[in-house]
Structure 1
Amino acid sequence: MDKLKQAYERMGLPENASKEEVEQRFSILARQARSRKQRQSSSDPESAEDSFAEISSAYRLILGLDDQRTVDQFTEKEYGKYKKFAGAAEKTDHFFHYYKFHLLGGILVIALLIYGIQIYLNYQAEQERLANLPPIDLSVMFIGDFGNQESDELEIAENALLAQFPEWKRTAVMITYLPTLPEGQTDFVLQQKAVITLMTEKPDAFIMDRSAFAWLSSQGVLRNLDAEAAGLFQPHLPPDSAMKAKAAEDTAEHIYGIDLSSSPLAQKLPLKSNNEFIYGLRTGGNNDAKALHFITNYIKPE
């Protein structure tokens, strides 16, 4: 404290002087020191320098103490209530103040890691479940205005198909919504989504409404059924049920679908689109035997 007392004496101020008084006094003394330096520059330059250095040192010491008092007052106000734990509380508060973004980033990384692990475990569990299931006898895509692809709808449709073929162990159903009359940006997006689905999914057969049939046949997705309509299907094929169309790369009309809307078995399916139920096979499919067995059963009268 002796040094502090000497600093106030050097600046000609009482020890209870305010910060503003210290600032004003330093400005006055600094100007005086510079003036003396200019007058003594030739006779005693070192004395002038020492005088200014003493004033600056006293000024810094006083302001340092004032800043420390401010910090001490703030610390007492904020952490005094913790008493003997005030130091630990202050350190903890400073830690969270300076590293809060690091902590938040760490928490986010941990959350993402847990989320990723959960997704991986769910994927592994699903793969294990699928591996334990019997092979798929027939995969069918409902495409058109058949509603949303909800898990309960898929399960209901799969069970309905399976019930009609007791000899089968498992069927797979996909539902792809396709607008009946595409209009506007939303319908265009839905149609593009259907295109992507057709590129990634490979069903054995399609069940369509008329709008979807017209679109799929023009895209060359459906297999030509001319031979089956004249042979395998012919004994039970209802009049006018053979659906003809032209593919993009074939100018001649061919049978690409069979209209089974009036079929008793079709009426038992839980998914319908305006009571339209058109069956077709995928071009390049490798499960034709069961796909043809399916349609043969549907065109037969109960």
Structure 2
Amino acid sequence: MDDLKQAYKTMGLEEFAPREEVEKRYTTLMKRERSRASSSAEGGSDFAQVTEAYRLILAYEDQKYKQAFNEQEYGKYKSMAGQAQKLDHFWRYYKFHTIGAIALIALIIYGIVSYVDHREHQKYLASLPPIDLDVSFMGLFMEQEESTLDDVNAAMLKSFPDWKRMQSNIIFVPGEDGNQYAYLQKAFVTVATEKPDIYIMDRFMFEWLGQQDILMKLEDIPELSEAAGSELGQKLKTQASPEEAVYGMDLTESQLFEDLPLMKDDLIVGIRVDAERPEKAIQFIKQYVDTNP
């Protein structure tokens, strides 16, 4: 403190004069020094002392400002003010580094959890019996309230005591909707990438799928030829075959319609031309054809 008082005295100022006066006084003394630049060395030595005093006063002012700022910002933390200040400074200078590190850690954790979940799901699938039939519902189909695809699979499976497992999915496509094109795009991608054994369709999707040349002719199958020749057989003209042929079986009046816990209007069943399990697909259709009134 004595050094500070001496600094004000050296500059010819009252103790603790305002910073503006300090700046103004130093500017005045500096101009005087320049005007006598050719004077004796003693004058230069005196100005060096003035400069040192000026720097000491500014350092004091800066420290006073910092203390006032810290008191305003961190005074509410009382005994923890020092730690709060350090934390604030750390966050101010390393905010983006910290956010990046947290994001990276979160990404790593997410990757690990996803990998573990995937492995567990694969173990679960490996523990299941082989799939007897893979079914894809396409069209205006929705699960009823509180029902799931597991319920749908169980409802179909009960008609086949020798089967252990059925798999199904629903591709919702409304018959008339402003966004129908988007739904059809999804259906097209699904048809191109997934290969179920049978499709269960409403009438709109039966006609649409028929144009994709992916349905098997049913009238050529001995077990289904009789039903194909009846009113149950649903005919189409396709791009590959301009002559009408039976590609679907109408099971709207069959037990299947009653069994399925789905919201639905029509049930037309067709077999995918490259089905992995065509024999069981035929058995499925034959089973429900025989339940028609």
Which of 163, 170, 175 matches 1:168? 163
Which of 134, 138, 142 matches 1:147? 142
Contact 1:236 1:300 in 2 (8 A): no
Amino acid at match of 1:222: L
Contact 2:144 2:262 in 1 (8 A): no
**CA-CA distance at 1:196 after TM superposition:** 1.5
Match of 1:243 in 2: 234
Alignment of 1:10-89 (within 5 A): 10-37=10-37, 40=38, 44=39, 50=45, 52-76=47-71, 78-79=74-75, 82-83=78-79, 87-89=82-84
Amino acid at match of 1:164: S
In structure 2, the CA distance between the partners of 1:295 and 1:30, relative to structure 1 (3 Å rule), is same
Measure, in 2, the Cα distance between the counterparts of 1:80 and 1:285.
74
**CA-CA distance at 1:292 after TM superposition:** 0.6
Aligned: 1:204 with 2:194 = no
What secondary structure is seen at the aligned counterpart in 2 of 1:232?
A: helix
Q: State the identity as a percent.
A: 41
CA RMSD of aligned residues (A): 2.7
Measure, in 1, the Cα distance between the counterparts of 2:253 and 2:208.
22
**CA-CA distance at 1:259 after TM superposition:** 1.3
Measure, in 1, the Cα distance between the counterparts of 2:70 and 2:228.
93
Match of 2:98 in 1: 103
Match of 1:281 in 2: 271
Contact 2:227 2:233 in 1 (8 A): no
Contact 2:217 2:246 in 1 (8 A): yes
Measure, in 1, the Cα distance between the counterparts of 2:40 and 2:138.
99
Equivalenced residue count is: 291
**CA-CA distance at 1:237 after TM superposition:** 5.0
**CA-CA distance at 1:150 after TM superposition:** 9.7
Measure, in 2, the Cα distance between the counterparts of 1:243 and 1:143.
16
Contact 1:82 1:89 in 2 (8 A): no
**CA-CA distance at 1:96 after TM superposition:** 3.8
Alignment of 1:198-277 (within 5 A): 198-228=191-221, 231-236=222-227, 239-274=230-265, 276-277=266-267
Measure, in 2, the Cα distance between the counterparts of 1:34 and 1:149.
95
**CA-CA distance at 1:2 after TM superposition:** 4.7
In structure 2, the CA distance between the partners of 1:89 and 1:234, relative to structure 1 (3 Å rule), is closer
Contact 2:143 2:262 in 1 (8 A): no
What secondary structure is seen at the aligned counterpart in 1 of 2:224?
A: coil
What secondary structure is seen at the aligned counterpart in 1 of 2:260?
A: coil
Contact 2:228 2:246 in 1 (8 A): no
Contact 2:141 2:170 in 1 (8 A): yes
TM-score scaled to structure 2, two decimals? 0.87
Match of 1:193 in 2: 186
**CA-CA distance at 1:212 after TM superposition:** 0.3
Measure, in 1, the Cα distance between the counterparts of 2:244 and 2:166.
32
Which 5+ residue runs of structure 2 have no aligned equivalent?
Answer: none
Measure, in 2, the Cα distance between the counterparts of 1:235 and 1:251.
23
What secondary structure is seen at the aligned counterpart in 1 of 2:115?
A: helix
Which 5+ residue runs of structure 1 have no aligned equivalent?
Answer: none
In structure 2, the CA distance between the partners of 1:264 and 1:80, relative to structure 1 (3 Å rule), is closer
Superposed CA offset, 1:22-43 (max 9, x none): 1121222222222223xx3xxx
